[in-house]
Amino acid sequence: MFKKIIPLIARTCLAVIFIRSGVGKALDFSGTQEQIASAGLPLAALLTAGAIVFELVGAALVLLGYKAKWGALLLILFLIPATLVFHTNFAEAMQVTQFFKNLAILGGLLMVTAFGSGPLSLDNQTSSRRRFGGM
């Protein structure tokens, strides 16, 4: 029983932080754009839109367990540069915490890419249907 539910709980824990973050960015698009521009990055509007899409789509795929490995990859592709750009000022204690939090999240996402989404997932449901002739 626990082996079935633990991957679902883990995927939910991973997804909610990105859903909250993506929605927050969407609701404060201009503020997010300003933060990205202040880091010296070009095309801040495009990067803001991309961050929102990567976070929300990636999190939805991971949460539902549908193409979860691809969703985790989207989140990894967002998380690594975001961490390196915004959370490497180790003179600030909060940035050290953010850096290591993101490192832990990266570990969870790598687990999804390596081992899949688990038995309680849409990925598992579709693979089960294929094995049993579409039933």
Whether 133 shows a pLDDT value over 60: the answer reads no
Residue range 2-56, pLDDT digits in tens: 889 999 999 999 999 999 999 999 999 999 999 999 999 999 999 999 999 999 9
Q: In the chain, helix, strand, coil percent, each to 5?
A: 80, 0, 20
Q: What is the dihedral of CA 38, 44, 50, 54, to 10 degrees?
A: 0
Nearby residues of 37 by Cβ (< 8 Å), 6 or more positions away: 44
Residue-by-residue DSSP string for 66-117: SSHHHHHHHHHHHHHHHHHHHS--TTSHHHHHHHHHHHHHHHHHHHHHHH-S
Residue, of 135 and 102, whose pLDDT is higher: 102
pLDDT at 131: 54
Under the banding of pLDDT at 50, 70 and 90, the label for residue 125 is confident
pLDDT at 135: 44
Contact 15, 59 (CB under 8 A): yes
Residue range 86-120, pLDDT digits in tens: 999 999 999 999 999 999 999 999 999 999 999 99
